[in-house]
């Protein structure tokens, strides 16, 4: 489900709703004018106005510990779980809560690949040899998880470019390792060299013509 970054929410008592929201993690009152109240939690700007409440408005609440934060949320008056927590995907866990003032709270815990010790699939367009896929997935762990999606796209595209350039119909292990070297920032290349060695491969061929920085 997509969540809005800005919304207008009509309801009979905007002031009471604002007090409720301020009891939730992250929400702060930014402005009040003529009975209209603007609140924000950093990802959503919500304008409360007087009126009839339409269908429930889902509010996304990010957390670090779903069990603890869900228990704390359920202690707030008027809030009740709509079911047990669910693992929506490998990297996402969620629990929903009913709430007063026409809100529905979606508490979410997002995990990194490192936290679940798993590698996401590569966005491939060509055929890949299994060893090439495995190696690139492992090598991508040298990249901090917040930058890994972009690195995964760049390294996969570069490996396929190298395979096509050499006239191959599938991406080989050598293409994958060379691609990772070419897209890795210079300051991380020594770490990448060490990881290639740890995986049992000779780092010299993929690093051909690449100068390592002294760090």
Q: Are 45 and 38 in contact (CB under 8 A)?
A: yes
- Asked if residue 179 belongs to a domain, the reply is yes
Q: For every one of its 215 residues, what pLDDT tens digit does the chain have, with 9 covering 90 and above?
A: 556 578 899 999 999 999 999 998 889 999 999 889 999 998 889 999 999 877 889 999 988 899 999 999 999 999 999 999 999 888 899 999 999 999 999 999 988 887 877 788 899 999 999 999 999 999 998 888 889 999 999 999 999 999 999 999 899 999 999 999 999 999 899 999 999 999 999 999 999 999 887 64
Question: How many of the other CB atoms lie within 10 Å of CB of 143?
Answer: 22
Domain of residue 171, residue span: 115-198
Q: How many domains does the chain have?
A: 2
Structural domain ending residue among the three candidates 111, 138, 162: 111
The residues near 119 (Cβ < 8 Å, ≥ 6 apart) are: 113, 137, 138, 140, 141
Residue 152: what are its φ and ψ, rounded to 5°?
-60, -45
Same domain, 168 and 189: yes
Same domain, 59 and 45: yes
Same domain, 125 and 77: no
């Amino acid at each position: 489900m997509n969540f809005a970054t800005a919304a207008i929410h009509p309801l009979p008592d905007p002031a009471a709703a604002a007090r409720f929201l301020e009891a939730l993690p992250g929400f702060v009152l930014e402005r009040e004018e003529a009975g209209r109240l603007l609140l924000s939690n950093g990802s959503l700007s919500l304008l409360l106005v007087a009126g009839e409440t339409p269908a429930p408005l889902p509010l996304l609440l990010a957390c670090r510990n779903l069990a603890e934060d869900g228990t704390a949320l359920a202690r707030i008056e008027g809030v009740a779980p709509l079911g047990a927590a669910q693992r929506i995907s490998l990297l996402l866990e969620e629990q929903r809560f009913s709430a007063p003032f026409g809100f529905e709270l979606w508490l979410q815990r997002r995990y990194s690949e490192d936290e679940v010790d798993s590698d996401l699939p590569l966005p491939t367009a060509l055929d890949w040899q299994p060893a090439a896929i495995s190696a690139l997935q492992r090598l991508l762990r040298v990249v901090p998880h917040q930058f890994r999606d972009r690195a995964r796209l760049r390294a996969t595209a570069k490996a396929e470019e190298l395979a096509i350039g050499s006239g191959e119909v599938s991406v080989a292990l050598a293409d994958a390792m060379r691609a990772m070297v070419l897209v890795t920032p210079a300051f991380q290349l020594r770490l990448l060299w060490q990881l290639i060695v740890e995986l049992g491969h000779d780092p010299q061929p993929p690093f051909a013509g690449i100068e390592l920085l002294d760090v």
